[in-house]
Structure 1
Amino acid sequence: MDWFSKSYEAFEFHMFSASHITVWVILAATVLLTFLYRSRFTEVTSRRVEVSLAFILILLEASYHGWMLRTGTWSVSHALPLELCSLSVFLTVALLLTRKKVLYDILLFIGVLGASQALITPYLYFDFPHFRFFHFFGTHSIIFWTPLYFTWIRGYRPTLSSVIRTMLFLNLLVPPVLLINKLTNGNYLYLAHKPETASLLDLLGPYPWYIVSLEGVAFLLSLGIWLLFKEKEPSIFTNREYRRP
């Protein structure tokens, strides 16, 4: 059985299958343990975690492009890093390595919202133990977990301007991505049509109205995340002369 093949018949993924739910359980347990044991993270431990996860993300993403090239499935119509989660991979790596607050401000919203949607309704054809299964759920789980880690461990908190900054970031992406979609016959950011598999976009109306609906939903959910995390608590590094970048 070739775990790196491009044929998914032997690995066909089914939403809400045992493997899918197992990923949810593992991620939920990781998030819970991170919160419960947040005071146990030392500066040395946290830095090791950050660098290790950045390396894992880079390795996973590089391996994914290598897999597409090996199987002859790489194409400008879908392989450019222009999907929201692909962009989040780069933002996550940058945040883990630099700890820049401006990166957190954007990733908290697009990472938590985008990755959670992908984890709930995956656009995926390959089930466990295929490489794509590990790539898809590995990258999205790290994207989802990282801003929570920076909130609870590093003491970062969003502001209302973080919400505005995120919406501006998303809207500035739309014009160039629309042009690239037209030139490549792609569907980056799902601006051309909804994904072929079931997704939460199915609840937002037909094309192109779901794009407008999605923007409104994204803004409201971002406000919800801001309200949830805006209250400041002392960082565990406050008394260790830790300074936020």
Structure 2
Amino acid sequence: MINLIDMNLFWKLFWTSTDRQGSFSLYSMEHVLALSIILGIIIFLFIHREKLKENHTRIKVGRIIASILFVQTFFLHFWFFQSGTFTLQESLPLYLCRITTILCIFMILKEDFSFFEIVYFWGLGGASQALLTPDTGGFLFPHWIYIQFFISHGGILISIFFMMIAYEYKPNFKSLKKTFKWSFIYLFIVWNINYFVNGNYSYLRNKPLTPTILDYLPAFPYYIPFMVMGMFFVFFILYIPFFVLGMKEKNLQKSINI
């Protein structure tokens, strides 16, 4: 009887509850544990980098990662509909990280560098910040929305490092320009969708409820230019290591030719 009550309580806390229990507790035990698991998986991939470069291994591992991303995306939207909480204002796959998650699935399954070029910047720039200052919509552990948040955002980072390790993908300057272009297109489209559905996708109408770096910026709408400039600045910072690496490779090639 006690076990049955415990299971019913757990199922309510995990799935059936639609109560937004409170604000996210930054760097709580649950938060640190989630970050540690994500970091641990990335380190594990790096340790086994030579094995991952074998074609059959990277295909198998890639399919596992892509499958997990697909399943969590499916059950995210299934929960929205099943719980009756689906709204045009916040349930559409229009947040940058939700779109990036979908791109990760195609990137891995198609083994496509053109997807990686954008995913690298959107993923590292967006998912990293989201994991450090999460916005789980008021749902706390062990709710599915809380867990799904870390699976999706952690999965983005894992996907990026997987492609860099297994396929030796790395962005170039054309990748940066391509990301700038598609970012402007994305922001323009989402800005207009927000207007028509009264949404706040990518926080283009209001700041997140949880503490973020946006709290240090002026109120709406004045924080938006700073947010966009900050996003592009982060993209540029993420490109610098590969710019430096490219210059070293060019200089090495010149010295060899001499």
TM-score if structure 2 supplies the norm length? 0.84
- Residue by residue over 1:22-81, the C-alpha shift from the partner in whole angstroms, topping out at 9 and shown as x without a partner, is 111111222222223211222111111111211111111111111111211101111111
C-alpha distance in 2 between matches for 1:177 and 1:70: 26
Q: Which stretch of structure 1 is more off in the superposition, 222-231 or 141-150?
A: 222-231
- Residue by residue over 1:174-206, the C-alpha shift from the partner in whole angstroms, topping out at 9 and shown as x without a partner, is 222122111111011111111122112223333
User: Is residue 170 from structure 1 mapped to residue 183 from structure 2 by the alignment?
Assistant: yes
Identity of aligned residues (%): 28
Tell me what 1:101 maps to.
113
State the secondary structure of the residue aligned to 1:53: helix
Structure 1 position 12, deviation (Å): 6.8
State the secondary structure of the residue aligned to 2:155: helix
Tell me what 2:56 maps to.
44
Tell me what 1:34 maps to.
45
- Residue by residue over 1:96-120, the C-alpha shift from the partner in whole angstroms, topping out at 9 and shown as x without a partner, is 1111111000000000110011101
Name which of 25, 28, 40 aligns with 1:17. 28
C-alpha distance in 2 between matches for 1:31 and 1:25: 10
C-alpha distance in 1 between matches for 2:130 and 2:19: 22
Task: Structure 1: give runs of 5+ residues left out of the alignment.
Answer: 234-245
What are the within-5 Å matches in structure 2 for residues 68-147 of structure 1? 68-124=80-136, 125-147=138-160
User: Is residue 58 from structure 1 mapped to residue 70 from structure 2 by the alignment?
Assistant: yes
- Please give the root-mean-square deviation of Cα atoms over the aligned residues, in Å: 2.0
State the secondary structure of the residue aligned to 1:57: helix
Contact kept? 1:163, 1:219, Cα under 8 Å? no
User: Is residue 152 from structure 1 mapped to residue 165 from structure 2 by the alignment?
Assistant: yes
Tell me what 2:239 maps to.
226
C-alpha distance in 2 between matches for 1:47 and 1:149: 11
1:179 alignment partner AA? N
Tell me what 1:6 maps to.
18
Contact kept? 2:24, 2:134, Cα under 8 Å? no
Give the structure with the higher percent helix: 2
Task: Structure 2: give runs of 5+ residues left out of the alignment.
Answer: 1-8, 249-258
TM-score if structure 1 supplies the norm length? 0.88
Question: Which has the higher Rg, Structure 1 or Structure 2?
Answer: 2
C-alpha distance in 2 between matches for 1:6 and 1:52: 30
C-alpha distance in 2 between matches for 1:7 and 1:127: 10
